[in-house]
Chain A
Amino acid sequence: AQSVTQLGSHVSVSEGALVLLRCNYSSSVPPYLFWYVQYPNQGLQLLLKYTSAATLVKGINGFEAEFKKSETSFHLTKPSAHMSDAAEYFCAVSASGGSYIPTFGRGTSLIVHP
């Protein structure tokens, strides 16, 4: 079984500031890890995924995440926030070699102030 904990239901940053959204996972087997973004009244869009290749994963819209096995973490970062980044962000984990069904976290709402 696997699970995801997203620390902080809301994160507030100023435009141009660093974005850091935290995700810790639990998995009994090597995990696949994902970050998705959801804008109001829309479905989820895949930002990036880790599938056991490079530990630093670059995604769309300038986002990246680093897989740290020792810390069981997969935090999402972006050097400079834009107003358009305001949305709900979800971290998800699936078990490699198994059913691959992702389990999602509760989400973190990113608020960007001008």
Chain B
Amino acid sequence: DAGVTQSPTHLIKTRGQHVTLRCSPISGHKSVSWYQQVLGQGPQFIFQYYEKEERGRGNFPDRFSARQFPNYSSELNVNALLLGDSALYLCASSLRLEGGYTFGSGTRLTVV
């Protein structure tokens, strides 16, 4: 069975550019969450979607946005990239909101 898949795996962008990260959840999972993990720290919550509706938003600026599609896949968009946006972006899916998450391997974003 396929796990949570994220694309791309690595990405290098220039300050001020825009980036789109993609996530496909485990089949049957309706909840998708996005986390940012800076080197040496724990994951920080960005967004949660359940049944295509936003269920939670973390303390991130409006430059960050996301959506969930009818097939439950999801995109995370970041506009006007800053050097500080360099991080590992993790997508996680779960069958129910209260369940443990299954994480993808992440997208490593480097902003130069």
Tell me the A residues contacting B by CB distance below 8 Å. 32, 34, 36, 41-46, 49, 51, 90, 94, 96, 99-107
Residues in A neighbouring B44, C-beta threshold 8 A:
104
Tell me the B residues contacting A by CB distance below 8 Å. 4, 33, 35, 40-45, 48, 55-56, 90, 92, 97-98, 100-106
**A42 and B105 form a contact (CB under 8 A):** yes
Residues in B neighbouring A34, C-beta threshold 8 A:
100
**A101 and B56 form a contact (CB under 8 A):** yes
B87 to chain A, nearest CB (A): 13
**Total of A-B residue pairs, C-beta within 8 Å:** 52
**B42 and A107 form a contact (CB under 8 A):** yes
B93 to chain A, nearest CB (A): 11
Please measure, in the bound complex, the distance between the C-alpha atom of A106 and the C-alpha atom of B55, giving whole angstroms.
Answer: 24
Residues in B neighbouring A99, C-beta threshold 8 A:
48, 55-56, 97
CB-nearest residue of chain B relative to A47? B100
The 15 listed contacts between A and B (C-beta, < 8 Å) are: A34-B100, A43-B4, A43-B106, A44-B92, A46-B102, A96-B98, A99-B48, A99-B55, A99-B56, A100-B98, A101-B45, A101-B48, A101-B55, A102-B45, A107-B41
CB-nearest residue of chain A relative to B43? A104
Instruction: Beyond the given A49-B100, A90-B43, A102-B45, please list 12 additional residue pairs across the A-B interface where CB-CB is below 8 A.
Output: A32-B98, A43-B4, A43-B104, A46-B100, A94-B98, A99-B55, A99-B56, A100-B97, A101-B45, A101-B48, A103-B45, A107-B42
A92 to chain B, nearest CB (A): 8
